[in-house]
Amino acid sequence: MRLIVQKYGGTSVGDTERIRNVAERLIETQREGCHVVAIISAMAGVTDNLIKLAHEVSPHPTERELDILLATGEHAATALTAMAVNARGGKAISLTGAEAGILTNRTHAKARIANISPRQIHELLADDYIVIVAGFQGQSAEGETTTLGRGGSDLTAIALAGALNADACQIFTDVDGVFTCDPRVVADAKKLDEIAYDELLEMAGAGSKIMQSRAVEFAKKFGVQFEVRSSLKADTGTIAKEEATNMEDIVIRGVSIDRNQAKVTITGVRDQPGIAGRIFSAISEANIVVDMIVQNASIDGATDISFTIHEDELEQAKNLLAPVVHEIGATRLMATRGVAKLSVVGIGMRSHSGVAARLFDCLGEGAINIQLISTSEIKIAVVIDGADVERAAQLTHEEFGLATLMPAVGSMQPLG
Amino acid sequence: MRLIVQKYGGTSVGDTERIRNVAERLIETQREGCHVVAIISAMAGVTDNLIKLAHEVSPHPTERELDILLATGEHAATALTAMAVNARGGKAISLTGAEAGILTNRTHAKARIANISPRQIHELLADDYIVIVAGFQGQSAEGETTTLGRGGSDLTAIALAGALNADACQIFTDVDGVFTCDPRVVADAKKLDEIAYDELLEMAGAGSKIMQSRAVEFAKKFGVQFEVRSSLKADTGTIAKEEATNMEDIVIRGVSIDRNQAKVTITGVRDQPGIAGRIFSAISEANIVVDMIVQNASIDGATDISFTIHEDELEQAKNLLAPVVHEIGATRLMATRGVAKLSVVGIGMRSHSGVAARLFDCLGEGAINIQLISTSEIKIAVVIDGADVERAAQLTHEEFGLATLMPAVGSMQPLG
């Protein structure tokens, strides 16, 4: 009998009507002759509300207690889903992360999975139960509830699919799959049938937040194939897998864009060990997420360092950096709002030269100025003016033939 | 070192400001040189909301899953309370009912406590923790989460106080204690310093819903003294205990009233075995709570049966009973809305005769007609017209000298 792991995010169980729909889909999947394990997130909004309450009682909530608090969101959603299955004539039972056998280290709030002992799940499946597992959580060896970090239900699903040796792992979400570009920006963007883990990782880091990156890394490490698909339609989605040989024929899988970015440049930075550390510790202590970092070769013992952050955090970053700039004897701090990042991603880049040149030429012909460039093995990212980003995405999408290239073409549709 | 168990209900932790106040009180109690164990209910409204969600996904929610769902309310409140204590420089840790060692039978939704193993609590107290325990819940021998029924946090507190051999058990609520009568009805009603378990039980059953009856029964069975007091003031409240010898000097401890009752009378009921059962099974199957039941001696093989229910359930009861009245060959079904019940309670009744006569005379002198009478060993209850109930309470309170009688005088203040 096939064993299918299905993961439903917070939006898919956002109200009781949607929970009833999920229950229906679980029963249908079982009726098709499958063993079914469902991973459920907290109902949309619940986790944010619990975090708000925690911060009302404490400026720095005790991590142990915060994990217990947040885990209740998934406990409630799994219990409701199990009730809904039972109410429709199915046979379901809910399990906490601990009961599902998910053992983690003791790092509260961002625990890492140490081991999975799915004995109880196997027993319940053998008794024809649909097993509903609380996502996002586990238990330390000391018996303490731990959580896996934001978006951790993806990780629960993929790790359980691996441990159960499942025949399929389906990540249900509110998009149809992974696209060559956001269809709202590029009208002829195509849904991809397949994507390599590495491509999905680069895209997840490039503004297309379909999956928790740690979950994709875990899938890659243990070779767990999974499918990203819509919880609202019956259509198949996009399968994430290790790269296949023919995948390299596709130079670029997709184009991602990140809007509302700000660019910060510090000029005249002395080229000495420890200086960059001083700059970025000041920012990371305030939990400001830095995206691209670019440093050029130094001339006369001094260099410029640029990086991008979200526009909303620019004021705070400027205030934090002003004394640092003075302290390290740099020349100036320059900040630009309203920029955007455009990334092209594809494992085919490894074997095809000239991708960067094609991208830069294409943007240049469109009179789009490139402000920063950063590359990884399978990604090229540029910072451009925010006003240009849609046109840049359309030009790039066309340049690399993403709407027509076969067998599998494209990029990711952001959730936001 | 003294060990104090404190229980805070849903209103006392109804928002994060109140949770911070509870945290402050816990820290103060510890600073006074006590070991502190706090039992916390779900934040006000949370349990009702969870029940609503459950009924939206299922007409008959699976009891196992409903217990898991409802238990999350207390988990969240205990975690928030522990965070609040820690944020104010205290040292607290939250425990689930299972972690607190509360072992129950496997009857979901209304589990009975089988055993308590508070080893972990003792260890944490020895490490100077303020131990915050989730009320209302336990765990079966099979490791399943169970709940103790509505108001079960009272039971958790009293059972833990007994198992821990606590020096004091304080039930914090939004009233100042147990009163000789509702102060909104009788202006000179007095707060009682002491009350016997039996008196509190009869009062709890007579409309003064300060405590879960099962909790009081448990306290009586195991001799756990406890104090009902206000979470908003520093004043002492009312101590519930086994009767002391001098308690019998007080004839009547208090006057309770129940408004919005309805009286149902079935006349011409054949005096045969099984007939009363037919009547009341029809009603109990619809979960209508019947309060007083009165049946007179039969004349010529037929009798009348009367009982009281809440006014809101009268229509449903009439619909259910109409076919039954026909089936058992009774003469008539009569129903009266807008009646009220007045009860006088006191263990002193056992040794003082003439209490009933004094009550009836006093009401008669006030021209208040008595429609039904029912008595237990320490309670006399009468049904009267709802319009008369406040005056009846004032007359009765005066007749038995409840405002002036020393050492301890009175009745209970309803929460509603």
pLDDT at residue number B207? 60
B366 vs B345: CA distance, rounded Å: 20
Query: Touching check for A109 and chain B: CB below 8 Å?
Result: no
Query: Touching check for A244 and chain B: CB below 8 Å?
Result: no
Residue A294 vs residue B227, higher pLDDT: B227
A247 vs B406: CA distance, rounded Å: 92
Q: Which of A19, A71, A82 sits opposite B62 (nearest CB)?
A: A82
Query: Touching check for A278 and chain B: CB below 8 Å?
Result: no
**Helix or strand (DSSP H, E) at B389:** helix B389-399
A372 vs A288: CA distance, rounded Å: 20
Q: Do B72 and A68 touch (CB under 8 A)?
A: no
Closest CA to B168 of B214, B78, B236: B236
Query: Touching check for B91 and chain A: CB below 8 Å?
Result: no
Do residues B209 and B416 touch, judged by C-beta distance below 8 A? yes
Q: Which of B53, B58, B69 sits opposite A86 (nearest CB)?
A: B58
Q: State pTM to two decimals.
A: 0.85
pLDDT at residue number A413? 44
Q: Which of B19, B50, B80 sits opposite A76 (nearest CB)?
A: B50
**Chain A environment of B61 (Cβ under 8 Å):** 83, 87
Q: Which CATH class is domain B2-173?
A: alpha beta
Q: Do A60 and B87 touch (CB under 8 A)?
A: yes
Instruction: Return the C-alpha torsion angle A14, A17, A23, A28, nearest 10.
Output: -120
B198 vs B40: CA distance, rounded Å: 26
Do residues B131 and B36 touch, judged by C-beta distance below 8 A? yes
Residue B371 has pLDDT above 80, yes or no: yes
Query: Touching check for B65 and chain A: CB below 8 Å?
Result: yes
Residue B261 vs residue B208, higher pLDDT: B261
Provide the β-strand partners of residue B203. none
Residue B158 has pLDDT above 50, yes or no: yes
pLDDT at residue number A415? 36
Query: Touching check for B60 and chain A: CB below 8 Å?
Result: yes
* Positions in chain A whose pLDDT score sits under 50: 407-416
Q: Quote the minimal CA–CA distance from A65 to chain B in Å.
A: 5
Do residues B137 and B194 touch, judged by C-beta distance below 8 A? no
Eight-class DSSP state of B135: T
Instruction: Return the C-alpha torsion angle A325, A326, A328, A331, nearest 10.
Output: 70
pLDDT at residue number B69? 98
The CATH code belonging to domain A254-399 is 3.30.2130.10
pLDDT at residue number A366? 94
> In B194-253, at which residue ranges do the beta strands (DSSP E only) sit?
194-196, 226-230, 238-241
Q: Is the dihedral angle over the CA atoms A6, A9, A10, A16 positive or is it negative?
A: negative
Interface test with B, best of A65, A66, A96, A147 (most B CBs within 10 A): A65
Interface test with A, best of B40, B80, B124 (most A CBs within 10 A): B80
Query: Touching check for B20 and chain A: CB below 8 Å?
Result: yes
Q: Which two tokens stand for residue B297?
A: 């001696």
Closest CA to A288 of A269, A266, A270, A262: A262
Cα-based distances in Å from A149 to A111, A225, A336, B244: 7, 22, 31, 57
pLDDT at residue number B208? 62
**Chain B environment of A58 (Cβ under 8 Å):** 83-84, 86-87
pLDDT in tens, B378-387: 999 999 999 9
Interface test with A, best of B8, B40, B43, B57 (most A CBs within 10 A): B57
Query: Touching check for B122 and chain A: CB below 8 Å?
Result: no
Q: Quote the minimal CA–CA distance from B59 to chain A in Å.
A: 7
Closest CA to A105 of A56, A71, A139: A139
**Chain B environment of A56 (Cβ under 8 Å):** 16
**Chain A environment of B93 (Cβ under 8 Å):** 64-65
Q: Which CATH class is domain A2-174?
A: alpha beta
The predicted complex's ipTM stands at: 0.83
The residues spanned by each domain of chain B are 2-173
B48 vs B262: CA distance, rounded Å: 26
Provide the β-strand partners of residue A227. A170, A239
Query: Touching check for B21 and chain A: CB below 8 Å?
Result: no
pLDDT in tens, B131-141: 999 999 999 99
When pLDDT is averaged across residues B38-46 and rounded to a whole number, the result is 97
Q: Look up residue A327 and give its amino acid.
A: E
**Chain A environment of B87 (Cβ under 8 Å):** 57-61
Residue B211 vs residue B367, higher pLDDT: B367
Reported confidence tier of residue B347, pLDDT bands at 50, 70, 90: confident
Residue B106 vs residue B300, higher pLDDT: B106
Closest residue in chain A to residue B59, using alpha carbons only: A87
Residue B183 has pLDDT above 50, yes or no: yes
Interface test with B, best of A83, A99, A142 (most B CBs within 10 A): A83
pLDDT at residue number B411? 41
Answer yes or no: same fold for A2-174 and A254-399.
Answer: no
pLDDT at residue number B413? 44
**Which own/partner contact pairs does B374-379 have at CB distance under 8 Å and 24+ positions apart?**
B374/B292, B374/B293, B374/B294, B376/B202, B377/B349, B377/B350, B378/B198, B378/B199, B378/B202, B378/B345, B378/B346, B378/B347, B378/B349, B378/B350, B379/B202, B379/B206, B379/B343, B379/B344, B379/B345, B379/B349
Query: Touching check for B76 and chain A: CB below 8 Å?
Result: yes
**Chain B environment of A64 (Cβ under 8 Å):** 93
Query: Touching check for A80 and chain B: CB below 8 Å?
Result: yes
pLDDT at residue number B128? 98
Query: Touching check for B66 and chain A: CB below 8 Å?
Result: yes
pLDDT at residue number A410? 38
* Omega within 30 of 0 (cis) for the link into A59: no
pLDDT at residue number B377? 86
**Chain B environment of A49 (Cβ under 8 Å):** none
Q: For chain B, how many residues are written?
A: 416
Q: Do A72 and B69 touch (CB under 8 A)?
A: no
Closest residue in chain B to residue A52, using alpha carbons only: B16
DSSP letters spanning B329-384: T-SEEEEEEEEEEEEEE-GGGGT-TTHHHHHHHHHHHTTPPP-EEEEETTEEEEEE
Residue B376 has pLDDT above 90, yes or no: no
